[in-house]
């Protein structure tokens, strides 16, 4: 999403250009083919030819997801150029590290400040969104919810295999069908799995999804909201309020740590998605502000240290299954928090900080470079190298 927005922003500078050159650096290059980044940065310039330069060994100074756009005239002279960074969820930084478009709306720098205001003024979390974002947030969130439901519907109604060399079969449709004949807790879990798989499979095939907080982790929040709406008949209005709260949780993580797998591993993507969905579920189920914060804290805490090691650079394995598991975990976090009085030892702010420090300590091979963990083991198996002969493909 970020690379596409960056390309669209640069497009205005290309009126004198005959062709484009886009250099992808670091993690963006290492997993760019699997993430369809080359397609994302080329499409906005169509039909102008775009040369993609992959530079996985080089990193630009501010973030592992750097990119350089260059517009060239017919003689090959550079007529415009721009460096940008994709920092997760479609957000961009410019060359100087300043947010490119869309400044900070919320005045808070921590969850602690949010909790203090809600308690001081007797407000609910979603009411803070209303206060700072204005009334226009609600029609916007209605659009978000419509897009999320469409992604679920698309995924549930599509069969076959996902694009890419891994040949991964889609599961959402079959899981949904099987869930219909399962009763009780198993049936509910199966439905949650199916909804999350549906969105993540839609993403893996280049379909339209909502970054929540990122494309890789896009299945968790819609699955939880859709599941709860169907089970308990929540109105769209209540769902949108839960979305507003989820957005505030994601925003705190983005502000004080990172939602980029390339920067902090999957704890920042699926971990944050689980925190957002846990908070949204706790709110829908009647939790207090403290219980909502507890659910969010647990959602992130129990993903601490989670690496990003997508096989072949595709957002498929472990990503798709991981979204399904995190959706169930988010509902569990909400249930756990609602059983408590909301008091707990480690705060959400502290777990965010811990996640950031853990991510900083993580070797780059575990941060969206497809060089470590599952990605490496799979490659060894495929090539029969380093003690992995005879394991088949
Ligand atoms: S492993 Fe997690 S962070 Fe990495 S690409 Fe997959 S979903 Fe994103």
**373 Cβ closer than 6 Å to some ligand 1 atom:** no
Q: Residue 388's closest CA among 76, 379, 261? A: 379
In-domain check, residue 275 = yes
Determine the distance separating the centroid of ligand 1 and the alpha carbon of 39, expressed in angstroms: 19
Same-domain status, 115 and 85: no
Q: Would you state the pLDDT for residue 102?
A: 63
Core vs surface per residue 371-383: b (16+ CB within 10 A) or e? bbbebbebbebee
Q: HSE (CB half, 13 Å, CA atoms) of 222?
A: 34
Tokens of 235: 């109105």
Residue 368 is given by DSSP the state S
Task: For residue 334, give the CATH number of its domain.
Answer: 1.10.4100
Q: Would you state the pLDDT for residue 149?
A: 98
Please provide the size of the chain in residues: 393
Q: Return the ligand 1 atom nearest residue 265 CA.
A: 3
Same-domain status, 39 and 137: no
Domain count, the chain: 2
Give the domain-ending residue among 94, 125, 155: 94
Same-domain status, 165 and 287: yes
Greatest alpha-carbon pair distance for the chain in Å reads: 69
Q: Would you state the pLDDT for residue 352?
A: 98
**269 Cβ closer than 6 Å to some ligand 1 atom:** yes
Same-domain status, 221 and 143: yes
**315 Cβ closer than 6 Å to some ligand 1 atom:** yes
Same-domain status, 265 and 300: yes
In-domain check, residue 100 = no
Same-domain status, 249 and 181: yes
Q: Residue 370's closest CA among 27, 37, 53, 62? A: 27
Give the domain-ending residue among 60, 94, 128: 94
What is the pTM for the complete model shown?
0.89
Same-domain status, 203 and 333: yes
In-domain check, residue 99 = no
- Contact call for residues 242 and 276 (beta carbons, < 8 A): no
H runs (alpha helix) in the chain? 2-11, 26-30, 37-42, 111-121, 125-133, 137-156, 172-179, 184-204, 220-232, 236-256, 261-264, 270-284, 289-301, 319-339, 348-361, 373-383
Cα 69 to Cα 57: distance, rounded to the nearest angstrom:
18
- Contact call for residues 215 and 147 (beta carbons, < 8 A): no
Q: HSE (CB half, 13 Å, CA atoms) of 185?
A: 3
Cα 189 to Cα 327: distance, rounded to the nearest angstrom:
9
Q: Would you state the pLDDT for residue 360?
A: 97
Average pLDDT per 10 consecutive residues for the chain, totaling 393 residues: 90 83 93 87 91 93 93 92 91 88 82 96 96 94 98 98 96 98 97 98 96 97 98 98 98 96 97 98 98 98 98 96 98 98 97 98 94 94 71 42
Same-domain status, 285 and 327: yes
Determine the distance separating the centroid of ligand 1 and the alpha carbon of 286, expressed in angstroms: 31
Residue 304 is given by DSSP the state T
Q: Would you state the pLDDT for residue 392?
A: 42
In-domain check, residue 389 = no
Range of the structural domain that residue 57 is part of: 2-94
In-domain check, residue 105 = no
- Contact call for residues 49 and 43 (beta carbons, < 8 A): no
Exposure of 63 by Cβ count < 10 A (0-12 exposed, 13-18 middle, 19+ buried)? buried
Name the residue with the closest Cα to ligand 1, atom 2.
266
Tokens 């975990």 belong to which residue? 329
In-domain check, residue 33 = yes
- Contact call for residues 77 and 18 (beta carbons, < 8 A): no
**362 Cβ closer than 6 Å to some ligand 1 atom:** no
Tokens of 360: 């900083």
Name the residue with the closest Cα to ligand 1, atom 8.
216
pLDDT tens for 13-27 read 777 889 999 999 999
Same-domain status, 77 and 138: no
Classify strands 66-72 and 50-55 as parallel, antiparallel or unpaired: unpaired
Q: Would you state the pLDDT for residue 298?
A: 98
In-domain check, residue 102 = no
Same-domain status, 295 and 211: yes
Task: For residue 67, give the CATH number of its domain.
Answer: 3.30.1330.90
In-domain check, residue 132 = yes
Same-domain status, 181 and 283: yes
**257 Cβ closer than 6 Å to some ligand 1 atom:** no
Tokens of 166: 């891994």
Query: Within 10 A of 121 (CB to CB), how many other CB atoms are there?
Result: 10
Same-domain status, 162 and 127: yes
Distance of CA 382 to the CA centre of its chain: 29
Determine the distance separating the centroid of ligand 1 and the alpha carbon of 322, expressed in angstroms: 9
Give the domain-ending residue among 69, 94, 119: 94
Tokens of 386: 């380093």
């Amino acid at each position: 999403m970020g690379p596409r927005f960056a390309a669209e922003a640069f497009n205005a500078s290309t009126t004198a250009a005959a062709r484009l050159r886009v250099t992808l650096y670091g993690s963006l290059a290492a997993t760019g083919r699997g993430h369809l980044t080359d397609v994302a940065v080329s499409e906005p310039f169509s039909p102008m030819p775009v040369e993609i330069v992959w530079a996985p060994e080089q990193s630009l100074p501010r973030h592992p997801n750097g990119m350089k756009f260059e517009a060239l005239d017919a003689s090959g002279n550079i007529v415009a150029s721009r460096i940008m960074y994709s920092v997760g969820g479609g957000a961009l930084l410019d060359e100087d590290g300043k947010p490119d478009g869309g400044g900070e709306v919320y005045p808070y720098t921590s969850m602690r400040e949010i909790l203090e205001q809600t308690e001081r003024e007797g407000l609910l979390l979603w009411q803070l969104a209303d206060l700072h974002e204005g009334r226009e947030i609600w029609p916007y969130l209605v659009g978000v919810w419509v897009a999320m439901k469409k992604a679920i519907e698309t995924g549930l109604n599509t069969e076959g295999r996902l694009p890419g060399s891994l040949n991964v079969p889609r599961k959402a449709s079959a899981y949904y069908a099987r869930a219909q004949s399962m009763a009780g807790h198993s049936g509910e879990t199966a439905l949650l799995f199916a909804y999350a798989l549906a969105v993540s499979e839609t993403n893996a095939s280049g379909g339209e999804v909502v970054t929540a907080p990122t494309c890789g982790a896009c299945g968790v929040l819609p699955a939880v909201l859709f599941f709860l709406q169907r089970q308990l008949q929540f109105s769209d209005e209540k769902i949108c309020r839960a979305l507003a709260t989820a957005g505030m949780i994601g925003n705190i993580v983005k502000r004080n740590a990172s939602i980029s797998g390339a920067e902090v591993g999957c704890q920042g993507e699926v971990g944050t998605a689980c925190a957002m969905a846990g908070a949204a579920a706790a709110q829908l189920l009647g939790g207090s502000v403290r219980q909502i914060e507890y659910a969010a804290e647990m959602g992130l805490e129990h993903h601490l240290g989670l690496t990003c090691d997508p096989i072949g650079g595709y957002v498929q394995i472990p990503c798709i299954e991981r979204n399904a598991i995190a959706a169930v975990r988010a509902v569990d976090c909400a249930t756990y928090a609602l059983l408590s009085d909301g008091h707990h030892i480690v705060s959400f702010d502290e777990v965010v900080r811990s996640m950031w420090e853990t991510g900083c300590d993580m070797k780059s091979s575990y941060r969206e470079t497809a060089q470590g963990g599952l990605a490496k083991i799979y490659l060894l198996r495929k090539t029969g190298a380093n003690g992995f002969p005879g394991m088949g493909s």
